[in-house]
Amino acid sequence: MKKVIFCLLFLASFLTVGQPNDLFEKGNAYYIEGNYQKAIDAYQSILDSGQHSGELYFNLGNAYYKQEAIAPSIFYYEKAKLMLPKDEEVINNLSYANNRTIDNIAPMPASFWDSLNDAIVNKLTLNQWAKLSVAMVLLCVLSFSFFIWSDGSVRKRFSFILAIVAMFAFGVSLTLTFHKNNLDKNNRPAIIFDRQNSLSTEPNSLSDKVIDVHEGLKVFVLEYYDSEWAKVELPDGKTGWIKSSAFRLL
Amino acid sequence: MVRYALTYGLYFLLLAQTVLAQDGVSFEAKVSKQELGINERLRVDFIMNEDGDNFVPPSFDQFHLLGGPNQSISNSWINGVRSYSKTYSYFLSPKNKGVFTIGQASIEVAGSVYKTQLIKITVTAAVEQPKDPNDPEYVADQNMELVAELSNPNPYLNEAVSVVYKLYVSDDVYLSGLNILDQPKYNNFWSQIIPINKLEIERGTYKNRSYNYVVVSRAVLYPQKEGQLTIEPLSLDISLEVPSQQRNMFGGFLRQTVRRTVTAPSRTIQVKPLPEVGKPENFSGAVGTFDFSMTASPEVLKAGEAFQVKLKVSGKGNLKLLKMPEFQLPSSLEMYEPERKENINTSLTGMSGDVTVNYTVVPAFRGEYPLPEVHFDYFDLASKSYKSISSESLTIEVTEGPVNNGAVSNFSEDKTPKSNTKAFSGFKTQTAFQPIVTPNFFNSKSFWLWLFIPLLMLPIVLLFKRRREALSADVVGAKSKSDWKMAHRYLKEASSALGDSKRFYEALERALYNVLKSKLKVPITALNKEGISQILAEKKCKPTTISELNSLLQSCEFARYTPSALESMNSDYEKAAVLIVELSKI
User: What is the fold, at CATH topology level, of the domain defined by B287-404?
Assistant: Immunoglobulin-like (2.60.40)
What digits encode the pLDDT tens for the residues B145-185? 888 888 888 888 888 889 988 888 888 888 888 888 777 77
B6 pLDDT more than 80: no
Query: How confident is the model over B430-444, as a mean pLDDT?
Result: 79
The pLDDT assigned to B20 comes to 45
Global ipTM: 0.71
Q: Longest Cα pair distance anywhere in chain A, in angstroms?
A: 78
B407 pLDDT more than 50: no
Given an 8 Å threshold on Cβ–Cβ distance, is A134 in contact with B442? no
Q: Rounded to the nearest 5°, which phi and psi values hold at B34? A: -90, -20
Residue A59 and residue A118 in one domain: no
The two domains B24-124 and B287-404 share their CATH topology (first three levels equal): no
Label residues A23-36 b or e (16+ Cβ within 10 Å = b). Answer: bbebbbebbeeeeb
Query: How confident is the model over B47-52, as a mean pLDDT?
Result: 83
Given an 8 Å threshold on Cβ–Cβ distance, is B442 in contact with A149? no
Domain ranges of chain B: 24-124, 136-271, 287-404, 475-584
Q: Which CATH architecture has domain B24-124?
A: Sandwich (2.60)
Given an 8 Å threshold on Cβ–Cβ distance, is B406 in contact with A102? no
d(CA A240, CA A232): 6
The residue type of A147 is: F
In a domain, A163, yes or no: yes
Instruction: Say which CATH class B136-271 falls into.
Output: mainly beta
Q: Percent of chain B, pLDDT > 90?
A: 0
Is residue B304 within 8 Å of residue B366, measured between CB atoms? no
> Would you call B127 an interface residue with chain A, using a CB distance cutoff of 8 Å?
no
Interface of B with A in 326-385 (CB under 8 A): 328-332, 365, 367-370, 372
Of B369, B427, B444, B467, which to mutate for an interface test with A (greatest number of A Cβ within 10 Å)?
Answer: B427
Residue A177 and residue A202 in one domain: no
d(CA A23, CA B293): 42
Domain final residue pick, A40, A72, A98: A98
Label residues B418-456 b or e (16+ Cβ within 10 Å = b). Answer: eeeebebbebbeebebeeeeeeebbeeeebeebbeebee
The pLDDT assigned to B568 comes to 78
> Would you call A35 an interface residue with chain B, using a CB distance cutoff of 8 Å?
no
The pLDDT assigned to B133 comes to 67
d(CA A80, CA A191): 14
Domain final residue pick, A42, A66, A98: A98
In a domain, A107, yes or no: no
Query: How confident is the model over B401-420, as a mean pLDDT?
Result: 48
> Would you call A99 an interface residue with chain B, using a CB distance cutoff of 8 Å?
yes
> What is the number of domains present in chain A?
3
Query: How confident is the model over B224-239, as a mean pLDDT?
Result: 86
Q: Please report which confidence band the pLDDT of residue B411 belongs to, taking 50, 70 and 90 as the band edges.
A: very low
Lowest-confidence pick of A71-80, B153-162, B292-301, B318-327: B318-327
The pLDDT assigned to B484 comes to 63
Task: Tell me the residue range of the domain where A207 lies.
Answer: 189-249
B493 pLDDT more than 80: no
Q: Please report which confidence band the pLDDT of residue B202 belongs to, taking 50, 70 and 90 as the band edges.
A: confident
> Would you call A121 an interface residue with chain B, using a CB distance cutoff of 8 Å?
no
DSSP-assigned letters across all residues of A130-199: HHHHHHHHHHHHHHHHHHHH--SHHHHHHHHHHHHHHHHHHHHHHHHHHHHHHHHHH--EEEE-SSEEEE
Q: What is the mean pLDDT of chain B?
A: 79
> Would you call A127 an interface residue with chain B, using a CB distance cutoff of 8 Å?
yes
Positions in chain A whose pLDDT score sits under 50: 11-17
Of A44, A75, A95, A196, which to mutate for an interface test with B (greatest number of B Cβ within 10 Å)?
Answer: A95
Residues whose CB falls within 8 Å of the CB of residue A73, separated by 6 or more in sequence, listed in order:
A61, A62, A64, A65, A97, A216
Is residue A224 within 8 Å of residue A230, measured between CB atoms? yes
Selected residue with higher pLDDT from B546 and A163: A163
- The closest CB to that of A106, out of B406, B412, B438, belongs to B412
d(CA A175, CA B522): 60
DSSP-assigned letters across all residues of B424-469: PP--------EESSPPP-TTSHHHHHHHHHHHHHHHHHHHHHHHHH
Of B428, B452, B466, which to mutate for an interface test with A (greatest number of A Cβ within 10 Å)?
Answer: B428
The pLDDT assigned to B416 comes to 40
Domain final residue pick, A146, A171, A186: A186
Bridge partners (DSSP) of residue B354 are B314, B343
Residue A178 and residue A198 in one domain: no
Question: B529-538 and B543-561 helices cross at what angle (nearest 10)?
Answer: 160
CA B40 distance to own-chain centroid: 64
> Would you call A192 an interface residue with chain B, using a CB distance cutoff of 8 Å?
no
Is residue B149 within 8 Å of residue B163, measured between CB atoms? yes
Q: How many angstroms away from the CA of A245 is the closest CA of chain B?
A: 19
> Would you call B410 an interface residue with chain A, using a CB distance cutoff of 8 Å?
yes
The pLDDT assigned to B410 comes to 40
In a domain, A103, yes or no: no
The pLDDT assigned to B8 comes to 60
d(CA B436, CA A226): 28
